[in-house]
Amino acid sequence: MTETAGTGSTSALPFSKMHGAGNDFVVLDLRGDRDAPQPDLCRAIAHRHHGVGCDQILTIEAPRTAAAIASYRIWNADGSSSQQCGNGARCVAAWLVREGSAPAAGEFQLDSPIGAHTVQRLGDGRYRVNMGVPEFEPARIPMVGFDAARDPYVLPVRGSIMPVGAVSMGNPHALIEVDDIDTAELDLAGPGLQDHPAFPESVNVGFAQILGRDRIRLRVYERGVGETLACGSGACAAVAILARRGLVDRDVKVSLPGGDLQISWPTDDQPMVMTGAAAFVFEGEWNA
């Protein structure tokens, strides 16, 4: 593959193609002397027809804290940066285990763009990730125009009035309950909420169908990507909002188009924990 935009180096750029429940990534090891990818390179790599194809690019870098074995950053398909990605965290963990930098058993810590995450390998390609405590205060999401948390927020969106839940999982999420996610208007409500002035940093938009107290179906329209096959932070956000409404329990299977994630939230003031698989697809080199 050839691309004129570079990372600050003229040599071939090795990468791993990975996915977590269908949410796919290109993983770059930047622990040497390589610079972070520029937006035009991210867009070129992420292109589904002319590039490798992915939802996000993950860059593995030196740890920022003494307790971590590595850090990572997240770049969306449109070249913008992201703060949180649960499926990406599992893929980074699996990549480091395979490479030998992380232990094959027990817990280890990764530095994400928003803080530290404890990770545990469970076997069968599955990893458990501490995703942090949900933030419901508007300033923390962030949302503007509201001085206190509400549920739902009633927002005008492209000629319709929509009741939405909102929470931060390190990145902003809005949630719409629907009777059937197969017929949900993602292409209308997703961009409409992402462009809404209440969300100054845009927002990831989830559409949830409750199947029972221990299971939901979910589709997510992500910032900088569009609809994805899975979204780990979106799964956590959906469970957090629905659990606070009393509609689901504290341990919920979230079925996304690309696969299932198990989300646990013991109490409101404790971190959410996500469990799911991480898979390697292929290895390659990008010739910049």
DSSP 167-217: EESSSEEEEEE-S-GGG--HHHHHHHHHT-TT-TT--EEEEEEEEETTEEE
User: Among 200, 211, 213, which Cα is nearest to 166's?
Assistant: 200
User: Among 87, 194, 83, 77, which Cα is nearest to 135's?
Assistant: 83
Q: Name beta bridge partners: 161.
A: 156
Could you give the percent of the chain with pLDDT greater than 90? 88
Tell whether 270 is in a known binding site. no
Q: Name beta bridge partners: 264.
A: 251, 273
Helix, coil or strand: residue 120: strand
29-63, pLDDT tens digit by residue? 999 878 899 999 999 999 999 999 999 999 999 99
CA 108, chain centre distance (Å) = 20
pLDDT at 192 over 80: yes
Torsion (CA) 172, 196, 227, 134 in degrees, nearest 10: 20
Tell me if 13-127+277-286 shares its fold with 138-270.
Answer: yes
For the residues 244-250, what does the mean pLDDT come to? 97
User: Tokens for 147?
Assistant: 């001085």
Tell whether 223 is in a known binding site. yes
Confidence of residue 288 (pLDDT cuts 50, 70, 90): low
For residue 32, what pLDDT is reported? Answer: 82
173-190, pLDDT tens digit by residue? 999 999 999 999 899 999
CATH of range 138-270; options 3.40.50.360, 3.10.310.10, 3.50.50.60, 3.40.1370.10: 3.10.310.10
For the chain, give every domain's residue range: 13-127+277-286, 138-270
Between the alpha carbon of residue 212 and those of residues 180, 246, 248, the distances in Å are: 13, 12, 7
Crossing angle of helices 232-244 and 86-99, rounded to 10°: 130
For the residues 194-208, what does the mean pLDDT come to? 97
For residue 260, what pLDDT is reported? Answer: 97
For residue 34, what pLDDT is reported? Answer: 83
Q: Residue 131, Cβ neighbours under 10 Å: how many? A: 27
pLDDT at 2 over 50: no
CATH of range 13-127+277-286; options 3.10.310.10, 2.30.140.10, 3.40.640.10, 2.10.260.10: 3.10.310.10
| Alpha helical stretches, state H, the chain | 39-46, 86-99, 186-194, 232-244
For the residues 201-226, what does the mean pLDDT come to? 96
Catalytic residue numbers, as ranges? 85, 231
For residue 4, what pLDDT is reported? Answer: 36
59-98, pLDDT tens digit by residue? 999 999 999 999 999 999 999 999 999 999 999 999 999 9
Tell whether 227 is in a known binding site. no
Between the alpha carbon of residue 87 and those of residues 163, 225, 247, the distances in Å are: 27, 14, 25
Tell whether 287 is in a known binding site. no
For residue 22, what pLDDT is reported? Answer: 95
Average pLDDT, the chain: 93
Tell whether 171 is in a known binding site. yes
Confidence of residue 1 (pLDDT cuts 50, 70, 90): very low
For residue 3, what pLDDT is reported? Answer: 37
User: Tokens for 170?
Assistant: 């390190």
117-155, pLDDT tens digit by residue? 999 999 889 999 999 999 999 999 999 999 999 999 999
User: Tokens for 283?
Assistant: 């290895």
